[in-house]
Structures are given as structure tokens and as C-alpha cells.
Structure 1
């Protein structure tokens, strides 16, 4: 199906401003599972014979939730550190045997798959997952964490972001359907953190860079999203010094909003993407804006870019690079950056210790949402830029709570658009999967486990 312009009319939020529930979402509580489309969800039922794994998973789960501020409804039993608190986030496990079998067989991947299959639910999924995210490093006892390398699945070599694999990895997410993304994104088609009106304060640096933390001042609504996305783009263009006559390289096109706004400033822009769906719609949007003479968009791996550019900008693309290639990423940018130029990167980050612990782990997000993806830490980006290029981190804006609000708005729009999503050919399991992805991500930012940052790099001035 060809791309369509996004519908600017948002679906209404649930009444009273309360959290969306499964009933609000019209998500199927027990979705029909097509084994051809979801083979591992169907297979997990056949693997329920793994009683030992399921029993161990149940014991670990029960011990973990005793320490957490949640209510877990397990048949007639109520578990959790907040079992008597009616306001605590609730997890409703409808099919315990299937849930513990899935978690026992594949850990956190099974946890997500079990939600997709309807084994468990929550009337406030983001709040529940926020509690888990805040304690993710301690959910499994330390002695068992030492066995992580023997139990946790490893990233498939076929999904490493080599020049051979990367386009397929990108296509599996970004080429799902432009119309799917238009069902929950705003009219700018920006698929990255927005920057709402906020209050700023100084933050701790990792390499003597100027660091600012920004938090939203209000709970934004849908009408706030477009100006917030434009504010985000304008800030990163300002940070890179983009203006009249600037030669700009954008790594990761998205659907063209940054290129359009940069060209509107009088810059000439070359943007590269590996998504054919994004390429088609971004070129259309650039042409509709009357800027085709200033913007060139190519289906090209960033490593193959040639030329010289005064500014290099990249918004939430480094997450798709893979930790094995971060050095090559910075070497490429250093090679094409003109003397005196600046680099501005918007990146989702995670704590450095968790990055080190999980860098070889195959996750639910990898399997179902972003194959080959991996989040860096600020320390890793600083270290790779310093050891693989002449670039140095000079300033940084942290605005993770803005991403939590962005994801909340996307999810409200998505679950209000399920009829449209179904018309595109996506099924009940996909509905639950995508809702889980948006709420899971929101929880990571709400808990502070994840952050999003705009980072500015410049070449080190030689004495």
C-alpha cells in the first residue's frame, strides 16, 4: 500500500484522563495466534512441558515481586510488595502455567511474548513496567546473574549491523508500512523524542562537557506535539550551526522533517536512509515543500557517504548501528566533516554498567521490534568518539522525561487507531505487541533507566 498523508485528527483519549486499559484499547484479551506469523508464540504452548524451567521462573518471579510496589493477581492469590495497596500498579495473570512456561523458556523475551499471547494483562501497563524497569538490575538474584552467559540468548550473527545485514534489519521495522506509522505519529512524521516546554538545570558531565537536564513543566497533550517536535529539530540544527549556505549531512532520514527544516534555513542537505518506505515518503514531503533543489535523499549506508559537510546531524539512528560498529560510525563522520564543522547527535542512552552487562544479550525488543539494535551509554559514545576520531563531546542536553510523554501520546493515538491498523493487515497479536513496545519504552524513560540526549561533538583544537 502506498504512503498516505497522516490523519491530523487524533483519536480521543480515555475519559477523565485516567490510564488507558485493555478494554479502552479494544485489544483482544486472548488473541488468535497465527502460527505462520507468530511461530514462537505457538511453539511456546508446545514447550509447556518444561516444568522445571517454569517452576524456577515462578520461584524467581514470586521472590522478585515481594520486593516491588506492585499487586500481582494470580488466580485467587494476590502477590507483591503492595498487595494490599489498591492504588498500586496491577498485573493480572490469567494463565499462570503458560506465563511461567514462557518466562522459564526464554526469560524477558518470554515475558513479552506472554503479554502478546494474552497470558497476562494490566490496566496501567506503563506504570507496572516502570516498577520493573526501576529494579531491572536486581530482579534476578546475584548468584543466578553470574550464570547469565549460559542462559540468556545471544544476538544472532545474521542480525549484526554489517553492510550486508543492516538494510534488512532496518526494513523489518521501518518498512512495515508508512500508513502504520502515520496512524500514531503527528503530521511532522517525527519518530523520535519531542522537546516540550521545560525547566532546565545543570547536569553531571562525563568528559567536562556542558550538560543540561530538561524536564517538562506540564503534562502535554496532543496539540503540544507538533511544536515540540519542531522545537527538537530546531535545537539540534542550532547546535550544529546549520544556517544559510551550510552543507548538511543527515544520517537517518526518518520521514524528512529535519531535512525540510534545515533546507528552510537555506542549507543544502544530503540525507541517507536504508528504508525504502521512508525514502519514498520523505522525497514526496520534500517535493511538496518545494525544496527538492536543496535536499537530496539517497538509499545508502552511512559508511558509503563521500564528500565534505559543514554539519553532520543524526536523530536516533545510532541505536541501530550496533556496538561493534560505533568506532566506524565516528570514523565515518570524522572523515566527511569539513574543518570547523560540528556534529549533533540525538541518542537514546542507558546506564553504562547495564550497557556492559547486556551488550551481547538478545532481547524482546531485538526479536520483535529493532533487530540488531543496541542502546549506547554516554560514556561509550564519548570513549568511541575520542579513540576512533578527532571528535570531542562538548555539550549535552538530557531530556528523557520528554520522551516518556512523547511515547504516552503515541500510544494513546495508536490504541485509538486499531481499526485503521487492522485494515492495513496487522492482526490482534501485533496490536498487543506494538502497545507493549510503546508502553515498555515509556516505562524505561519514566523510571530513569533510559535517557535521550542531544550531544554535540567538535574536533579537538590542537595546541
Structure 2
């Protein structure tokens, strides 16, 4: 515990961390000001060394397995928040820095090597029971960043606004052919179908497609929307619009040319694409070891520099860029609160270890969008410079029209 205590003394300056180690001895770190109060207990002496050598993964696994417990009202969110507001200073511990550098290099190589397994990795996460997702997502099962006009918006309002925002950018006309890369449970495809488009939605998750097809049939949109269980790399066709929401995170390091090449090849000359993805405002990096091992194997949120280099190589026009900074923080906060409210039901579906794993995942992501370098970007890409209206006011005008139509529908309902 001595080496871990030395590290924590140098690191924890804001807030306060109290630890009861595996030998029953209590330690305290931090000023107690400008940060959360956190009290934890270790139940395994080996954890002291594991936290020195690989703190992020070891802490997550210890929480999942119960060898690290939270005491006296400390929440998982408090625990993770403490280390986001107290980033480890440079040169804190040479051995740990060497281990981190080796991990980052291996992780980057590993992420590139996993590109061929993308389909299996997507299924690892999205073929979980839809009953799980119903317990913390909105009614439309939108599992991506919502669009908050105000932090006070409900999750349902913000997800509806996100669909309208995307629809406004797509500027749909009747009978346009639209390709959706990564269709989820079908909410965006249905929204586009109601707007008059003919939608082809690609997905590799059989669980999601089955639910999406049921929803489309119930809405009477089966002539406008079809779902195809196929990897985007294997698909061919020409479309007026392409939209991809929450898919780029699964493309994998080193495969952006293939992804944007497929977008380019599937666009008609006067068409354009709207791409929505989690990214980072920092230079290229790696996926955290916990997320990579347990939540999104092969997943990676790219830096804009990586994305733009690929787009430039492929000769696509970037017609519009929008950065959503806090929208995903509000979204994840809503998901985490609903997850906590339904924890008992989720434990019945899976088990307590699964609940702790997903609790750690949701809390870590929420805090990373509040204090870390994550954000969401939306790009509009085209083959020709004039495929998108030259003034972006059309997006605002389209959103206003959509809100007015929705208001009339509610009044007549």
C-alpha cells in the first residue's frame, strides 16, 4: 500500500479520498475542497499493486468483482469524478509512465488488428436483450447523443429534437433514396420514412433488426423502410443521401478510408451525407482499457484530425461541421439516472456484476463528457461543392417547419 499511497498523495489535491486498505488501515488524501468526498474500502491485498500498475482497469474490475467497495454514501459517479478532477501529473511515477506508454502502443496496434472483427464486436454490445435498453433509453430506443435545446429538456424531448435536427440537415424531398449506415432500433429510419424518403438501413445486429421491423410494420412504413443485415463494407448502391449515427465509433483505427470511401461510392453526384459520431477534441489516442475490454471491443472515438485526413485523401467536400459539447453529458446523465432507478430489474435480467460493470461504464462516460476530452461531431459531406445549400439557414428553417408540424399533430391528436 505504501507505493499506492505515495502516488495518491501526489495526485489527489481536490476533494478528499479516504481508503481503508485490505489490512484495515485507514488513509486520507486531498484537501477536502473543490471536489467530491470519496470513501472506499479494499478487500484484497493484491489490489494495492494492481492499482499501481494499471489503475483504470484495476479499479473498474475491482468495483465489478466487489474487491473495492464504496462506503458511507459514496457513489460510483463520485469515485470516477474524483480522478477526473485530479489528473495524474506528468512524471508522477516512472514505472507507471512506462507501463502506460507500452499499453497505449499495444492498444493502438490491437485496435487496428480488430478491424476484421467489427461485426462480432458490434453484436457483443447491441445483441444484448432489448429489455435492458428499454429500462434506460427513451421510448424510441435512441442509443446515441440527444440534442438538448435546454438542459431542462426531458430525454424524450431531446431525442426527438435530435431526429428533427438530422432530418433538417438531410433536407429530404419525397421519394429520395436514403442509405442509413447503422440503423439501431429504427427510430431515425422511421422518421425519414414519414418524411417521404425510401430508406435502406444497414445493421449487423439481428436483435435490433427484429425489433425495428416490428416497429416499422406497426407504423405502416414497411413500404418506405427496409432493414438489411449486412456490413456496410459489403453493400453497394447509389443514394441521394447517406446518414450514419453512432457508427464511426465501431469502424476502428486505420479503417476510415474504407468507411468514407464507401460513403463516397454510394453517393449520387448531387447527393450528400450526414455523419454523427463521438470524437475527441485532443490528438489521436486510445480507447480506455475498461471500455475496450468489457463494453466496446474494437471501439475507438477518433480525433477530428484523423477524420479530416481521410476525408481529404478521398476528395470529399466538408460542407458543414457542428460540434456538440455538452449534449452527450446530459444524455448520459439521463441514461445513468434511469439505469439506477431500474437497477433491480436489470439485475433480474443479468446479475449484480453486470449492473456494476454498466454502472461504471455509464458513470465514466458521463464524467468524460463533463471533464474529459470527448465531444460529438456532425459532418455534412458531398462529392460536389454545391450539393448542400450554400447558407446553412436551411437547417434552422427545416427544424422550425418540423416543430410546427409536430405541434399541429399534437393539437389534433
TM-score (norm. length: structure 1):
0.75
Shift of 1:55: 5.3
Q: Look up the SS of the partner of 1:88 in the other structure.
A: coil
1:90 and 2:37 matched: yes
Q: Distance in 2 between matches of 1:373 and 1:444?
A: 16
Matches within 5 A, 1:20-169: 56-65=3-12, 67=13, 69-75=14-20, 77=26, 79-83=28-32, 85=33, 88-95=35-42, 97-118=45-66, 119-121=68-70, 123-133=74-84, 136=87, 138=89, 141=92, 143=94, 144-145=96-97, 148-150=100-102, 154-155=106-107, 157=110, 160-163=113-116, 165-169=117-121
Retained in 1: the 8 A contact 2:321–2:377?
Answer: yes
Retained in 1: the 8 A contact 2:18–2:27?
Answer: yes
Q: Distance in 2 between matches of 1:167 and 1:399?
A: 27
Q: Distance in 1 between matches of 2:280 and 2:317?
A: 20
Q: Distance in 2 between matches of 1:140 and 1:404?
A: 30
Q: Look up the SS of the partner of 1:195 in the other structure.
A: coil
Retained in 2: the 8 A contact 1:74–1:92?
Answer: yes
Retained in 2: the 8 A contact 1:161–1:321?
Answer: no
Residue 181 of structure 2 is matched in structure 1 by 251
Q: Distance in 1 between matches of 2:240 and 2:217?
A: 24
Residue 429 of structure 1 is matched in structure 2 by 353
Bigger relative contact order, structure 1 or 2, given CA contacts below 8 A and separation 6+?
1
1:386 and 2:338 matched: no
Q: Distance in 2 between matches of 1:148 and 1:271?
A: 40
Residue 370 of structure 1 is matched in structure 2 by 296
Q: Distance in 2 between matches of 1:138 and 1:289?
A: 55
Shift of 1:304: 1.1
Retained in 2: the 8 A contact 1:71–1:91?
Answer: yes
Shift of 1:362: 6.1
With 273-282 and 55-64 compared, the bigger mean Cα shift is at 55-64
Q: Deviations over 1:42-71 (max 9, x none)?
A: xxxxxxxxxxxx654443233211x3x121
Q: Distance in 2 between matches of 1:245 and 1:398?
A: 30
Retained in 1: the 8 A contact 2:180–2:200?
Answer: yes
User: Per the alignment, do residues 263 and 347 of structure 1 end up closer, same or farther by CA in structure 2, a change over 3 Å counting?
Assistant: same
With 224-233 and 94-103 compared, the bigger mean Cα shift is at 94-103
Equivalent in 104, 107, 124 of residue 172 of structure 1: 124
Retained in 1: the 8 A contact 2:146–2:327?
Answer: yes
Equivalent in 386, 401, 424 of residue 326 of structure 2: 401
Q: Distance in 2 between matches of 1:150 and 1:401?
A: 32
User: Per the alignment, do residues 376 and 421 of structure 1 end up closer, same or farther by CA in structure 2, a change over 3 Å counting?
Assistant: same
1:455 and 2:379 matched: yes
Give the number of equivalent residue pairs.
376
1:320 and 2:250 matched: yes
Cα RMSD between the aligned structures? 2.5
Q: Deviations over 1:177-207 (max 9, x none)?
A: 111111111111000111111xxxxxxxxxx
Q: Distance in 2 between matches of 1:376 and 1:159?
A: 13
Shift of 1:376: 0.4
Q: Deviations over 1:106-155 (max 9, x none)?
A: 33111211221230437243354245335547476385535533356834
Matches within 5 A, 1:248-327: 248-327=178-257
Shift of 1:378: 1.6
With 150-159 and 239-248 compared, the bigger mean Cα shift is at 150-159
Shift of 1:261: 0.1
Shift of 1:92: 1.9
Matches within 5 A, 1:149-228: 149-150=101-102, 154-155=106-107, 157=110, 160-163=113-116, 165-197=117-149, 217-220=150-153, 224-228=154-158
Q: Distance in 1 between matches of 2:173 and 2:6?
A: 59
Q: Distance in 2 between matches of 1:128 and 1:56?
A: 20
TM-score (norm. length: structure 2):
0.84
Structure 1, unmatched stretches of 5+, are 1-53, 198-216
Q: Distance in 2 between matches of 1:158 and 1:242?
A: 36
Q: Distance in 1 between matches of 2:171 and 2:121?
A: 32
Structure 2, unmatched stretches of 5+, are 387-413
Retained in 2: the 8 A contact 1:382–1:392?
Answer: no
